[in-house]
């Protein structure tokens, strides 16, 4: 029997009612907010029809609708400062009025994030495998990596801004450090504990060194590589927005900082919601990627 998130549907209708009621005489069109509510409701309904993670989708939808209902109630009845706490209609209207700048910011941030990931993840994985399989490298490299990994890369930002040719290059370097070191550490520890039975079997089958690496070691470590990707994603996104706030002239972090400097908290709130939406979409893409590429998980 498919799960039916009744609470989520009821709260959705409540949000729509509050929106239509509060929009009378309001300064901002509720169209974008209503579209967002309908989009969430559609996502919950699709999850319920498919039957996959339906209960979780219903719970998430209910929490989102409850949040919006409380937000609407507090702002429409004037229980909070209208400058610091704008109405949902005003915040979501920004997605239309500032759509060009928001789209440019998303593209800029994704380009910067892609550069950091495409360099740091493969290099960190390869270096981690090499360090993990060499006792001498483990003794020389891992102590330094264990010291540097907990240090936030943002600390290096002022120095990187001074030595790199552009701020964008400095921001990419911050993201690179934040992904490379944790990836190297996790992959080296995983490679160091590689099941010796696999290597013995490869020797019995007379596999060459190249075949052993690409047909035994890499498939064994690949799920760990994807796990490192998922773990590094949230950190890298945090580093991205913080780096963009330091001095960039484009990106999602810059969008938030620019309007915060002008005390335009309606656009600041819209920027925060934009970051949350992008993170949600990228996390879903990572989930699908992991499901398609990894059909099994090695024993820890």
The DSSP 8-state label assigned to residue 150 in this structure reads: T
Residues 42-89 have pLDDT tens digits of: 988 888 777 667 778 888 889 999 999 999 999 888 888 888 899 999
Closest by CA to 132, choosing from 83, 74, 191, is 191
Q: What is the pLDDT along the chain (300 residues), one digit of tens a residue?
A: 455 678 888 999 999 998 888 655 567 788 999 999 999 999 888 887 776 677 788 888 899 999 999 999 998 888 888 888 999 999 999 999 999 999 999 998 888 888 888 888 888 888 888 888 788 888 888 899 899 888 888 788 778 878 888 888 888 888 888 888 888 888 888 888 777 777 777 778 777 777 777 777 777 777 767 766 666 777 777 778 877 877 678 889 889 989 998 999 999 999 999 999 998 888 888 777 777 766 554 444
Does residue 63 contact residue 24 with C-beta atoms inside 8 Å?
Answer: no
Q: Which CATH architecture has domain 99-293?
A: Orthogonal Bundle (1.10)
For residue 297, the surrounding DSSP H or E stretch is none
Query: Would you call 115 exposed, middle or buried from its count of C-beta atoms within 10 A (0-12, 13-18, 19+)?
Result: middle
User: Which 8-state DSSP code applies to residue 193?
Assistant: T
Query: Where are the chain's structural domains?
Result: 6-85, 99-293
**pTM for the full predicted model:** 0.81
Dihedral over Cα of 150, 257, 91, 93: its sign: negative
Distance CA 288, CA 286 (A): 5
């Amino acid at each position: 029997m498919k799960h039916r998130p009744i609470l989520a549907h009821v709260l959705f209708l409540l949000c729509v009612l509050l929106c239509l009621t509060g929009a009378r005489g309001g300064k901002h069109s509720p169209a974008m907010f209503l579209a967002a509510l309908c989009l969430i409701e559609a996502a919950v309904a699709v999850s319920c029809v498919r039957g996959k993670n339906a209960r979780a989708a219903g719970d998430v939808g209910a929490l989102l609708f409850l949040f919006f209902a409380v937000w609407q109630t507090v702002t429409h009845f004037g229980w909070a400062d209208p400058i610091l706490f704008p109405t949902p209609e005003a915040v979501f209207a920004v997605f239309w009025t500032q759509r060009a700048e928001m789209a440019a910011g998303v593209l800029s941030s994704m380009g910067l994030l892609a550069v950091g990931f495409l360099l740091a993840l493969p290099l960190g994985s390869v270096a981690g495998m090499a360090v993990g399989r060499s006792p001498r490298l483990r003794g020389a490299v891992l102590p330094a990596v264990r010291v540097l990994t907990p240090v936030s890369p943002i600390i290096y930002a002022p120095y990187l801004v001074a030595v790199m040719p552009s701020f964008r290059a400095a921001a990419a370097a911050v993201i690179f450090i934040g992904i490379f070191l944790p990836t190297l550490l996790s992959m080296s520890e995983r490679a160091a504990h590689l099941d010796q039975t696999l290597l013995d079997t490869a020797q019995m089958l007379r596999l060459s060194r190249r075949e052993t690496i690409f047909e035994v070691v890499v498939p064994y470590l690949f799920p760990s590589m994807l796990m490192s990707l998922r773990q590094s994603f949230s950190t890298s996104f945090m580093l991205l927005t913080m780096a963009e706030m330091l001095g960039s002239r484009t990106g999602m972090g810059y969008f938030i900082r620019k309007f915060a400097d002008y005390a335009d908290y309606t656009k600041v709130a819209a920027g925060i919601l934009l970051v949350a939406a992008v993170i949600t979409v990228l996390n879903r893409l990572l989930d699908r990627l992991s499901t398609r590429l990894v059909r099994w998980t090695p024993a820890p």
